[in-house]
Amino acid sequence: MFYTVGEIRGQLGVGEDSFAEFKEVRVVGRSVRSPNSDQFAAELVAFANAEGGVVFLGVDDDGVVHGIPREALDLVEQWAVNVATNNCDPPIRPVLRKQQLPVGDDDERDVILVEVRRGVYVHRTTGGRWLVRVGSTKRDLTSQELARLLQERGRSFVFDEQPVFDATVDDLDAARVERFVGPDTSLPRMDLLRNTRVVTEGPAGDIHPTVAGLLTFGRQPQTRLPSARIDAAVYRGIELHSDTLVHASSIKGPVDQQIDEAIAFVDRFMLRPARKVAGRTDYPQYDLDAVYEAVVNGVAHRDYSLSGAPIRLFLFADRMELYSPGALPNSMTLESLPYRVFTRNQLLVGFLSRLRSEQRGRAYLESRGEGVRTILRASEQHSGRRPHYDLLGEELRLTIWALPSPHYTDEEK
């Protein structure tokens, strides 16, 4: 990043942004007086928690190169390393580069470029601030943003394994748990629940269901996790408008029940025009295998840390839309979705891989990594139009096109 003098000067000309921060340096004796160590640590943490960036030491806020005295270069370099090591948690390992920049026609001044890579972990200052770079500024992460970032970057925090503190073992359906863990009596029941991570211990040693445990085995999971539901609606037009709303339903209960009810919802309300040539032939709007994979993926991989964000399932006259809360994790892109595997909720996916759907006679999740390809392939074969994904802020939208009615003319299809 900014490897040539031309790239550096170009950045100085346009000013600070998401990847560049300017800091004038003032050295007194054998100490760096400006920038303040805590302020510098905050800049490093903010870049590490975003997509990385470079701090230009020796440049003021307007992009004017003041430089660092040649005799102080090593001192400033060591100070920067110390701050990154001792004032950031976990420590940041920046790449430091000394660079001479031309100033005027016949003068050069020394600066230090401190490059921070995108963090593998989530960083904070030793003063306790979790920060992120946004444009040319930094700001504190909200609690929800922090939870999602911790989840995405795979530190010890995995959201679906966290205890639901206002829930107890009494919130679990004993019959559902029994069917899952079986009648094994070699271990005490509570130890068995701990070992399977249906429950876990809180900080005080008390026992609570995990998020995944409550979602899978809870009597009424939405009592404690109100956003863990599917809001479904049918519109007879092609736009989201109350005038064309035919039916709406909030699908709740354990996750396997939500999946089955969502598939039944689509099966019930999708149109099935027919032709009678030599017998009756139905033309259902959607391939239910593709719908099944779409709903399972949405329930299994959505971001449950987002409060107030249910899955949304809409049926229109010409398409189905499924909105799943949560941005794409790590380096995944819309283009790579069919080819890469990422499991946001490892524990929940494990439970769904062992639970069998009575409607379909098999586990809810059988093959890993084939769901998106099945959705795309089966839906395109069915309707003649390829489904597509769109990322809308913190939601992933899947659009599956309906099979046009055989009664339409070619121009109407």
Interstrand relation of 311-315 and 319-325 (parallel, antiparallel or unpaired): antiparallel
**In this structure, are residues 364 and 296 in contact, taking their beta carbons and an 8 Å threshold?**
yes
- Residue 234 belongs to domain spanning: 230-401
| 133 and 178 share one domain | no
Of 103, 129, 169, 104, nearest to 48 by C-alpha is 129
| 45 and 67 share one domain | yes
| 235 and 347 share one domain | yes
Structure tokens at 41: 């640590």
**Domain end residue (candidates: 81, 106, 141):** 141
For the chain, the first-to-last Cα distance in angstroms comes to 50
Number of domains in the chain: 3
Encode pLDDT of 18-27 as tens digits: 999 999 999 9
| 67 and 179 share one domain | no
| 261 and 341 share one domain | yes
The CATH number assigned to the domain holding 294 equals 3.30.565.60
The CATH number assigned to the domain holding 93 equals 3.30.950.30
Rounded to an integer, what distance in angstroms lies between the CA atom of residue 185 and that of residue 188? Answer: 7
Specify if 183 maps to a domain.
yes
Specify if 154 maps to a domain.
no
| 244 and 378 share one domain | yes
| Token pair 């899978």 in the structure block, residue | 216
| 191 and 244 share one domain | no
- Cβ-based neighbour number of residue 157 at 10 Å: 15
- Cβ-based neighbour number of residue 411 at 10 Å: 5
| 195 and 78 share one domain | no
**Domain end residue (candidates: 194, 223, 252):** 223
| 259 and 373 share one domain | yes
| 375 and 278 share one domain | yes
Specify if 260 maps to a domain.
yes
Specify if 406 maps to a domain.
no
Specify if 329 maps to a domain.
yes
Which residues, in sequence order, are CB contacts of 343 under 8 Å at separation 6+?
300, 301, 349, 368
Specify if 152 maps to a domain.
no
Rounded to an integer, what distance in angstroms lies between the CA atom of residue 280 and that of residue 275? Answer: 6
| 189 and 261 share one domain | no
The parts of the chain modelled with pLDDT lower than 70 are 154-157, 184-185, 203-204, 274-281, 329-331, 367-369, 407-413
**Domain end residue (candidates: 141, 168, 197):** 141
Give the pLDDT confidence score for residue 279 in this predicted structure.
58
Specify if 278 maps to a domain.
yes
| 219 and 236 share one domain | no
Specify if 153 maps to a domain.
no
Q: Is the pTM of this model over 0.75?
A: no
